[in-house]
Structure 1
Amino acid sequence: MDMPASGNNKTAAPALKSDTELEFPHALLISASAGSGKTYTLAQRYVQFLLSENIPGHNLENILAVTFTNNAAKEMKTRILEWLKELALNPDSPKMNETLQLVNISRPEAQKKATALVESIIDNYSDFHVQTIDSFMTRVMTASVNELDLPLNPEITMAYNDLIELALYSMFSHLGHDANLKINIDTFLNILPEKGAYPWNPVLRIRDHFAAFLNEEGKTKGGILSDNSGAPGKAREKLWVDILKSCGELKKQIKPELMKGSLAAAIENKDINAFISNYNFENWLLNGQKKSRKTGEFPITPETKKDLEYLSELVRQLLMADALSWFHPYTFIYSRFKAELERVKRGKTDIIHINDVNKKLSTYINANVAPDIYLKLGERINHYLIDEFQDTNKLQWDNFKPLIEESLAGAGSLFMVGDIKQAIFMFRNADYKIMRDLLTYAEGKKDHCDNLELASVGGRLELVNLPVNYRSGGKILEYVNAVFKHDLKNRKELIGEDITELTSYEQAPRKERAAAGFVRTISLEADNITEDQVERAELLKIIESARKRYPLNEIAILAAKNKRIKPVVEWLTAANIPVASLSSLDIRERRVTAELLALLKFLETPADDSAFVAFITGEIFGKAAGVARTELLEFIFQAHTGHKSQVTSHKLQGISTSCQNILYTQFKDHPKYSGYWDQYFDELFRKTGYLPLYELCALIYSKFGLFKNFPDEAAFLSKFLNIVSKAQTDGITGVRDFLDFAEGDDETRGAAFSIILPDYLDAARIMTFHKAKGLGFSVVINLIYEDRDADDSMYFDETPEGIKVYKITKSAAAQLPVLGRIYNNKKTDESVQNLNLLYVIETRAKEELYNLVIRKKRKEPSKTVKSTDLFDNYQSSEKVATTFSESTTTVKKVADTFLKPLEPEPVYSANYDIATAIPTLNAYAGAKEGELCHDILARIVTSHKSDTSSDSTLSTLHSTLSSLYAACAASYPIRFNEAKIIKTLFAFLTMPEVKPWFEPKEGRVIKTEAEFADKTGNISRVDRLIIDKDTVTIIDFKTGAEATEKYAKQLKRYLALAAEIYKLPAKGVIAYVDLRKIIDIRA
C-alpha cells in the first residue's frame, strides 16, 4: 500500500476527526479505493489514540488492530512504529504536522510522548495488539481452554488434507470389527453407482467432497445435514419409473424422426443421468430443428403437447429429487467421518484446524458476556480497528460482534477500513456482504443495520471516503475508470447489480500526477491458448523496454493461476532476465532442491530407478563428480537395454535377477562408476535409516559440496536444512515421513517451503492476481487469459437446521425457483470476485500498465459475454522518456555484504558404530508400546471391580482395559499384540502395592498427565499425581529395562516442586509396569 505523501512540508488534510471533535462511543467506516491509503489511515488512527489524553481507555493494551494476513500485520506494526519514531526524532516532519491536526497537544509534548511510547512498545511488546484476526481468536481460545474442553497447547493448522487422510484411514481401518460402520459403508457403496459412473477409487472422491463440506462448515455455525431416510433418492427412482412409462406412451404418439436422438437413446438405455443432461424444457423430447419456421410449433396433436407438458412437470420433480439426493451417499457417512476426524485431532498431536477455533468460540462468546472474555485475556479492549474489512468472514464477524458491541456500550470505538471493490477472497470464506450491509446503512439507504447493533451510538455509523489515489498516474486511472465506470456499466450481462460499486466509485489522482502514467492493452488470439504461446514475444519485448527505465524489481508480471506463471518463468530465464516468482520461491520448485528430494527418495527406496536417474543426471552429481550428463544418459539407456556401451566399452548384461536389474546396482558394479559410488553414495546408502534425518542431510551437503558448488542457491539450501530441522523437531524423523510432508500441496506445506523475497533482489516479480493485492509496482504487465469457468455442480444452502448440499445444473436452476435462488447467489459471488479481481490487477501500476489479453481464436464471435471482452486494443499517450539511472551493481553490493553460509558438519564420524548406537525396529516398537501403556494408564482414574465381582454397576477391569486399548491403539503407526498388553496391564494393576493408587478416598484428588511450572517457567509433566490430605504422591510409570538411577534424579525434582506447591510431604514411586517392580523414591 502506498502512503499519502505530504512532501515539501505541505500537510494534507487528514480524513479523520481531531481528538477534540470525537465523541465516544464512536463507530467509523472508511470506504476506500485502490492506492488511497487504507493502512496508512489506520496507522494514523492508532497513533492518534495512543497520543491523545482526550481518548478514554487508550493505553497500549486497550487497543486492538486486526487484519487478515501475517504480512499485513507486520506492515501495520512497522508503520505505527515508524510513525512514532519519526515524531520522536524529527519534530518538524510532515508526519508531526499531520499528527498535530489530529491530537490537541504541543509539538514538544508530542515528541516526548512518542519517544516514551516507542520505548513502552519495545518493553511491553506483548501488549502491542496488532495481529491477524485468527491470531486474536486463538488468543481468546487459548485463554478459555477449560471452558472449551481443549488441550493446553494445540497445534493449529490451515490445511485439512492430512487430517482428512488420517481420519479416512482410521475410519476404514475399523471396518473389520465395527458392524454399524460396515453397514454404513456397504450402504454408501450400494447407492454410489446410482449417481453415474462408478469411481474406480471412491476414497479420492470422498476426500474431495469431504474437504468441500468442511470448508463450507468453516463459514457458518451450522453443520452438513443428511437425510438418512434416503427419501429424495427413493423419490428420484420412483419419478424415473414414471417418466420412463410416460415416455413409452409418448413414443407411440410421436413420429421417430421428431425425437431427439440423445434422449431416445437415454430412454432406450434407461440412463437417467443422460436423460437429465439432454432434456430441454422448450422442446421436450423433440428435436428443435423439426419446428415449423413459420409457426415455431412442432407437428404434434394438442393431446400430445399436453402429455409432453405433463412430462416436463415430472422432470422438474425429478430435477429437485436429483439435486437433493446426488450427494446423499457422501452426507450419509459424513457424520461418522466427522466423529473420526475429531478423534484424530484430539489424538497425540492435539491438532485444531483454524476453522475449529472460530466455530468453538462462536457458542462460547455469544453465551458469555464480554467481561468474562476480558477477564480470561487479562486485559480489556476498548478500541477495535479492523483493516481490509471486506475480507471478514461471517463466523469471524459473529465472534467479534459481542465484544465490539460491549465496547460501544461504554466509551469505546470501532474503526473499519476496507474497499468492497477489492473483495477477492470469497474462496477463503470472506463475506463482502457484511461490509455491503454497513455501507448501505451508513449511506442512509436502509433504516436498520443487520450486522451490527448501533443503538449504543444512537444509530450513528460515520462514513468517510478516501477519494485520492496516491499510487497510480492519472492516465492509468482514466483507463481504469473507462473500463469499469463505462464499459462494464454498459454490459449488464456481466455486472448485473453493481453490489461492490465497481461502476460508481469516485477516485482521482494527486494533482501533480494527473498527466502521469502510460497504458497499453494488446489483444491476442490463439487456436490453443496454452500451447501457442502467442503472448511470449510481446511480453519479452515489453520487459526489455521497461527495464531501461525502471529496475527489474519494479516490474511485475501478474497471472490468474500458477499454471500460467511457470511457463513465464521459463521464458524469462531463457532470455537471461532475472526473475523471482512466488512459485519459484517455493524451494521445491528449485532444481537443486528437487534433486535433493530425488536423492532422499532413492536412499529410502533404492529400487526406485526414476529417483536415482533424476539425481545422477542432475546438476548436484554432475558438478561434484564432473561426469557429463550425456554420458550418464547413455549409460542409463544401455543399462536398460542390456547392450554394450560405446562410451564405457563395458558390457551391461541383462541379468535375470531383479536385484541386479535395479539401476543403482549396475552403477555400483560398473568399473568406471564404482569409484563414484564409493565416494558419494556408499556411506549415505549404509547410514540411511540409522542417522537422524538432519544428520543425513548434513552428510549429503558435505559430500556433494552444495554451498561451494551452488553459491547462488545458498538461500534455498539453507532454507531446506531449516525445514528438515523443524520437521525433525515436530516428530518427522524418517526419510519417508519427510518425503510425504514435502510432497503435500496444501497451504501449510506451501508456507513451510517458501522463502521471503529480499527487497534488494534485482529480478522481475511474477505472482498470481491474488498475491498482488496490496502491492504496487512501477510497471505491471497483466496476462489475462480467456479461461473456461470451473464446472462445479456442488451448491450449499444454509438453513436454520444446518447446511443442505445440492447438485444444481443451469437448466435445473432455470426451472425451479428454490434451486435458482441458491444457484444465482453462488454465481453472483463468483462474478463479484472475478470482476473485483480485474479491478485489483488494473490498479497495481504506478507508472506503466500493460494488459496482454489472450483469447480463443474463433470464426464467429462468442455468444457468451466474457470479462475479457472489456479489454480492446488500446494505447494512451507515449511513455515519458526516463532512464533508470541507479547502477545495477548496487544490488550486488548489498547482497555481497551478507556472510556466506557454512557447510553443515555431520555429528557422526565415518567410524560411528551405527549397529549399537541407533535404535532398532524392535526398540522403536518397544518404545511405542510403552507410550501406549502410558496412554491407557492415564485414562484410568479410579479402580474398577474385579472380574469375578457380581456388582453390575461397575465395569470390570478387563473390559475397561479392552475399551481403552481400542481407543488408544488406533492412533499409533504400528500394530500391537493386544492380548499381551492387556495381560501385562492387568497383572500390574492387580498388584497389592498398585491397587491403592487407584482407590477413591475422602479428600483425595487424582490427576493424570499433570503439568506444573517451576519459578523459571519450565513445564514438568508427571504420569500420576495423587493429592491426599496429608501427603502428595507422584507415580512415574516405566516400561522396558530398569534405569532407576537415571529416573530417580528426574523424579526427585518433581517431588521438590510438588512439596513446594502443595505444602505437603511428597513421596515418589517408579513403577516398572512390565517388570511388576515398584521402587520408592524420597525427596
Structure 2
Amino acid sequence: MLISEFNTIISKEIKNQPTPFIYERLGEKFKHYFIDEFQDTSKMQWDNLVPLLENALSSANGSAMLVGDAKQAIYRWRGGEAEQFIKLYNKLDNPFQLEAEVLALDTNYRSAKAVIEFNNSFFEFLSKSAFSEVAYAELYKQARQKTHNKSEGYVNLNFLNVEKEDDIHEMYANKVLQTIKQCQANGFPLDDICVLVRKRKEGVAIANYLNENGIKITSSETLLLKNSDKVNFINSFLKLLIQPNNDSLKVEVLSYLAEQLQIEDKHQFFITYLKDDLSDMFLALKALDLYIDTNQCLQLPLYELVEHVVRLFDLNERSDAYLQFYLDVVLEFTQKQNSDVAAFVSYFEKKADKLSVVTPENMNAVQIMTIHKSKGLEFPVVIFPYADLDIYREIEPKVWFPVQAENYSGFNTLLLNYNKEVEHFEETGALIYNTHQSQLELDNINLLYVVLTRAVEQLYIISKKDISAKGEVKKNTYAGMFINFLQHLNKWTDTQLNYSFGTLKLNENSSEKEITASPLKLISVPKEAHNLNIVTKSGLLWDTQQEAAIERGNLVHLILSKIKTGDDVDFAFNDLLISGDVTNEDKEELMTLVTNVIEHPKLKAYYQDNFKVYNERDIITNSGQLLRPDRLNISANNEAVIIDYKTGDAKRFHAAQLNDYEAVLSQMNLKVTHKLVVYINDTIEVLEV
C-alpha cells in the first residue's frame, strides 16, 4: 500500500461507523494525543482523526493537544487547510463535546530583537493592506511577538535596479556572493549562513555562481544532478543518438543550443535546424561550427562518448560541479555495469532523485535550500534573494466548478482553467474566484512569513525596485510590499536602494575563518591529442636480468599502491593472486620486499592508521599538467608526506619530481614536511629530498 493512499482508505473504513473498529484497540491503549504542525493537516486527515480524539476526550482523564501556526501553513498544494485551524482556535468550529482552551504563544525565543521588531511592524502593515479576507487579516493583526533573545540583531533590505538588458539571475547571485563575503568579514563562518529560495531553479543558479566563485556550498535539493541544464542536455543528446526519429528530443537539444547561443528568434532557429532526418540536422548545425559525426559517437565507449559531447559543445568552458559529478556517475556505471547508452539513460532516470553533487558532512559551507524545506529550522544568518514574487501569479491553475449532474452526463463538478473570467460565472463563480484569490494572498504571505522568521541574528532580503515607468509601486509583489512598507515608515527614497534595521555587529562567537579555494576546472582532452608512443626498445630487455629486476620492481610498486596500512598487506596479495598479477611462486619473495618497505625504520610510521592516505591519485596543475605521486600521507593538521617508489640507481630528476609535487601541494594549502624516495632493489634504500 502506498503511503499516499492511507488517508483515503482509512476515510472509507470509518465513514459509516459510529465507533470505528479500526480505532478500538488504539483507544484502549492511548488516552492522550498531541498533534504538531496542525495547520498543515488536510480535511481528510482531520476527519480521520476526529473519532479517535473524540473517544479519548469522552473517557476519564483523556486529552488532545493541537499545536500549530496558521501563518506557517504553506502546504495547501498537498491538501493542508489552515482554515480548519483558524476556525478551531477562534472557536467557530468544534467537533467535540468539550470546550477548547486556547493558549497563545506570544514570545519568540529564536530571533534577535531587530529581526522580531522588523517582522512585527512589517506583517502588521500587511494585515491592513494585503488581505481581502477579514479572518486572514486578523490573523496577522494579532501576530506581534515579544522578544526574549537579548542580542540586538540586524535586518538589511536591498533593492536591485534591474534594467531590461540585465541578467537578473546573475544580479541576484552576485548580490548573494557580496552578502556572504560581508558576513564572513563580520566573523560568521560559512556554515552559519543559509540562502533560502522559493524554487529549485533559483537555488541552482545561486549554487552555480557561488561554486564558480570559490564559495563552498551544501544542499540536499539544489545539488541534484537533474537540476543542471548541461546534464539534462547531455542525456537528451544521448537519447537522440539511439532514437534518431524522436522529434521531441531534437527540440530539447535545439532548445538548449538556442538558449546558450542567446538566439532571439527561436521560431526561425527551429525552422532552420529542425530536420526529419538526424543526419540532415547535424549537417545543418555545421553552420554553427558544430561538427557531429553520428557514427563516430555511436562507436565510442560510453564514458568517452560523454566526454566527447562535453568537448563538442564546450560544456567545460566554466567550472561546473554538476558536470564533474555527472562524469563520475557515468564512470561508475561503466565500471560496475556496462557501456550501453540506453541502459545508462534508463539508470539515470530511475536514480534522478538521488544522484547529486556530493558534499562532505560537517563541511564549513553555505547551505542552500527551499523555503518549504527550511520550515521548522533556524540559522544564524539568512539570505533571501528573489524576494519579488507576484502573489497572484500561478502556472496553469485550475478549479473545480459545481454543475447540475443532469446537464453534464452525471458529473457534479467540472475541472476548469482558472482565470478572471471565472468571477463572472454567476454567484458561484464569484465566490470561487474571491475564495481562490484570498487563499493565494494567505499562502504567499505565509511563505514570506516563514522565510523572514528563520533568522537568529541577521536577515538579508534581496529584492528589486519594482516600480513602473509611471512611478507606480506594484502592490501585488513582495518587492512592492517592501517598498510600500518603507514608504509607510517614511524611509523610502528613489535614489536609495539599501535599508537597515538594528545594528550590524561582529559575530561574538566567531571562529577562525576558512580560506575559500578556487574551483577546479574540468579538463577534457581527446585521446588522439595525448600524443602517446609505444616504447619498442623494451624488446631488447626480454629474458635478461634487467627485465626481471624491472618486472619485480613494477610488481612491488603495484602491491604498495593497494596498501594504506600494514593491515592491508594480506588483502593486497590475495587481490593480485586472484587477478593473476602475482603468482604463488613469486609471492614469498615479493612479500619479503614489501614487508621490508613498510617495516623500514624511516617509513614504518607512515603505514599506521593516523593518516589520510592517497595512493596513485592524479593532481592537475593550473597549467593542465598531470602529476601522480605514488603515495601521499596527510595528517589532521594538513601536513603532508610525499613517498615515491623507484627501482634502479638514484637519478637527479627523482628529487626534482618530488619538488614539483611539493609545489602543487603547497597551492592546495598543504604543508609538506617530508619528501622520501624509496629505491626498491635487492635492498631497500630511503633517501630524503
1:827 Cα offset (Å): 1.0
Residue in structure 1 matched with residue 103 of structure 2 by the alignment: 464
SS of the equivalent of 1:398 reads helix
Query: Which of these residues, 531, 549, 557, is aligned with residue 195 of structure 2?
Result: 557
SS of the equivalent of 1:767 reads strand
Residue in structure 2 matched with residue 954 of structure 1 by the alignment: none
Query: Which of these residues, 415, 420, 429, is aligned with residue 65 of structure 2?
Result: 415
In structure 2, the CA distance between the partners of 1:793 and 1:567, relative to structure 1 (3 Å rule), is closer
1:642 Cα offset (Å): 12
1:849 Cα offset (Å): 0.7
1:578 Cα offset (Å): 1.5
CA distance in 2, matches of 1:407, 1:584: 44
CA distance in 2, matches of 1:396, 1:724: 46
CA distance in 2, matches of 1:642, 1:589: 26
Contact 1:385 1:414 in 2 (8 A): yes
Residue in structure 2 matched with residue 869 of structure 1 by the alignment: 480
Residue in structure 2 matched with residue 527 of structure 1 by the alignment: 163
Residue in structure 2 matched with residue 569 of structure 1 by the alignment: 207
Contact 1:723 1:752 in 2 (8 A): no
Q: Where in structure 2 are there 5+ consecutive unaligned residues?
A: 255-278, 306-319, 406-411, 484-497, 518-563, 565-570, 580-689
SS of the equivalent of 1:462 reads coil
RMSD after superposition = 5.0
CA distance in 2, matches of 1:588, 1:847: 34
Equivalent residue pairs, number: 450
1:761 Cα offset (Å): 2.4
In structure 2, the CA distance between the partners of 1:522 and 1:713, relative to structure 1 (3 Å rule), is closer
Q: 1:571-600 deviations in whole A, cap 9, x for unaligned?
A: 212221122344433133469976995797
Kindly provide the amino acid, as one letter, of the partner of residue 871 in structure 1: F
1:742 Cα offset (Å): 4.4
Query: Which of these residues, 164, 178, 185, is aligned with residue 541 of structure 1?
Result: 178
CA distance in 2, matches of 1:565, 1:377: 44
Residue in structure 2 matched with residue 985 of structure 1 by the alignment: none
Residue in structure 2 matched with residue 322 of structure 1 by the alignment: none
CA distance in 2, matches of 1:534, 1:680: 36
Kindly provide the amino acid, as one letter, of the partner of residue 761 in structure 1: M
1:525 Cα offset (Å): 3.0
Contact 2:132 2:438 in 1 (8 A): no
Q: 1:744-800 deviations in whole A, cap 9, x for unaligned?
A: 8xxxx7644468976512221222222221121111111202547126463225799
SS of the equivalent of 1:490 reads helix
Residue in structure 2 matched with residue 488 of structure 1 by the alignment: 126
Residue in structure 1 matched with residue 440 of structure 2 by the alignment: 830
Residue in structure 2 matched with residue 665 of structure 1 by the alignment: 295
Give the alignment of 1:254-293 within 5 angstroms.
none
1:408 Cα offset (Å): 1.8
CA distance in 2, matches of 1:778, 1:389: 27
Q: 1:19-54 deviations in whole A, cap 9, x for unaligned?
A: xxxxxxxxxxxxxxxxxxxxxxxxxxxxxxxxxxxx
1:410 Cα offset (Å): 1.8
Contact 2:201 2:227 in 1 (8 A): no
In structure 2, the CA distance between the partners of 1:754 and 1:490, relative to structure 1 (3 Å rule), is same
Residue in structure 1 matched with residue 377 of structure 2 by the alignment: 775
SS of the equivalent of 1:839 reads helix
CA distance in 2, matches of 1:387, 1:492: 28
Give the alignment of 1:244-323 within 5 angstroms.
none
1:720 Cα offset (Å): 8.8
1:482 Cα offset (Å): 1.1
Query: Which of these residues, 438, 451, 466, is aligned with residue 841 of structure 1?
Result: 451
Residue in structure 2 matched with residue 805 of structure 1 by the alignment: 415
SS of the equivalent of 1:505 reads coil
1:785 aligns with 2:388: yes
Residue in structure 2 matched with residue 424 of structure 1 by the alignment: 74
Give the alignment of 1:18-417 within 5 angstroms.
154=1, 156=2, 354=4, 356-368=5-17, 370=19, 372-374=21-23, 380-411=29-60, 412-417=62-67
Contact 2:71 2:139 in 1 (8 A): yes
Contact 1:493 1:865 in 2 (8 A): no
Q: 1:124-155 deviations in whole A, cap 9, x for unaligned?
A: xxxxxxxxxxxxxxxxxxxxxxxxxxxxxx4x
**Rg: which structure is higher?**
1
Q: Where in structure 1 are there 5+ consecutive unaligned residues?
A: 1-153, 158-353, 615-635, 647-651, 653-660, 669-673, 683-709, 729-733, 892-898, 910-1083
1:491 Cα offset (Å): 1.4
1:542 Cα offset (Å): 1.1
1:817 aligns with 2:456: no
1:858 Cα offset (Å): 2.3
In structure 2, the CA distance between the partners of 1:846 and 1:680, relative to structure 1 (3 Å rule), is closer
Q: 1:394-414 deviations in whole A, cap 9, x for unaligned?
A: 111111111221222224321
SS of the equivalent of 2:9 reads helix
CA distance in 2, matches of 1:736, 1:421: 48
CA distance in 2, matches of 1:725, 1:797: 55
In structure 2, the CA distance between the partners of 1:477 and 1:640, relative to structure 1 (3 Å rule), is same
Kindly provide the amino acid, as one letter, of the partner of residue 83 in structure 2: K
In structure 2, the CA distance between the partners of 1:372 and 1:584, relative to structure 1 (3 Å rule), is same
In structure 2, the CA distance between the partners of 1:752 and 1:384, relative to structure 1 (3 Å rule), is farther
In structure 2, the CA distance between the partners of 1:543 and 1:423, relative to structure 1 (3 Å rule), is same
Kindly provide the amino acid, as one letter, of the partner of residue 153 in structure 2: G
Q: 1:400-436 deviations in whole A, cap 9, x for unaligned?
A: 1112212222243212111111011111111111101
Q: Percent identity?
A: 27
CA distance in 1, matches of 2:160, 2:37: 35
In structure 2, the CA distance between the partners of 1:719 and 1:574, relative to structure 1 (3 Å rule), is closer
Q: 1:648-674 deviations in whole A, cap 9, x for unaligned?
A: xxxx9xxxxxxxx97253468xxxxx9
In structure 2, the CA distance between the partners of 1:605 and 1:534, relative to structure 1 (3 Å rule), is closer
CA distance in 2, matches of 1:383, 1:723: 51
CA distance in 2, matches of 1:680, 1:757: 23
CA distance in 2, matches of 1:494, 1:836: 15
CA distance in 2, matches of 1:678, 1:863: 58
1:796 aligns with 2:426: no
CA distance in 1, matches of 2:226, 2:500: 40
1:498 Cα offset (Å): 2.7
CA distance in 2, matches of 1:679, 1:816: 61
SS of the equivalent of 2:363 reads coil
In structure 2, the CA distance between the partners of 1:540 and 1:714, relative to structure 1 (3 Å rule), is closer
1:462 Cα offset (Å): 1.9
Residue in structure 1 matched with residue 584 of structure 2 by the alignment: none
1:495 Cα offset (Å): 6.8
Query: Which of these residues, 498, 505, 527, is aligned with residue 880 of structure 1?
Result: 505
1:859 aligns with 2:469: yes
In structure 2, the CA distance between the partners of 1:857 and 1:735, relative to structure 1 (3 Å rule), is same
SS of the equivalent of 1:853 reads strand
Residue in structure 1 matched with residue 363 of structure 2 by the alignment: 761
1:523 Cα offset (Å): 1.9
1:808 Cα offset (Å): 5.4
In structure 2, the CA distance between the partners of 1:678 and 1:463, relative to structure 1 (3 Å rule), is closer
Contact 1:521 1:852 in 2 (8 A): yes
SS of the equivalent of 1:846 reads strand
In structure 2, the CA distance between the partners of 1:769 and 1:528, relative to structure 1 (3 Å rule), is farther
1:481 Cα offset (Å): 0.8
SS of the equivalent of 2:503 reads coil
In structure 2, the CA distance between the partners of 1:378 and 1:502, relative to structure 1 (3 Å rule), is closer
Query: Which of these residues, 579, 583, 586, is aligned with residue 217 of structure 2?
Result: 579
CA distance in 1, matches of 2:301, 2:331: 25
CA distance in 2, matches of 1:500, 1:752: 43
1:820 Cα offset (Å): 0.6
Kindly provide the amino acid, as one letter, of the partner of residue 739 in structure 1: V
SS of the equivalent of 2:218 reads strand
Q: 1:869-921 deviations in whole A, cap 9, x for unaligned?
A: 22135212431123732454999xxxxxxx9xx9xx9xxx9xxxxxxxxxxxx
CA distance in 1, matches of 2:90, 2:27: 37
User: What TM-score comes out, normalization by structure 2 length?
Assistant: 0.55
CA distance in 1, matches of 2:163, 2:285: 44
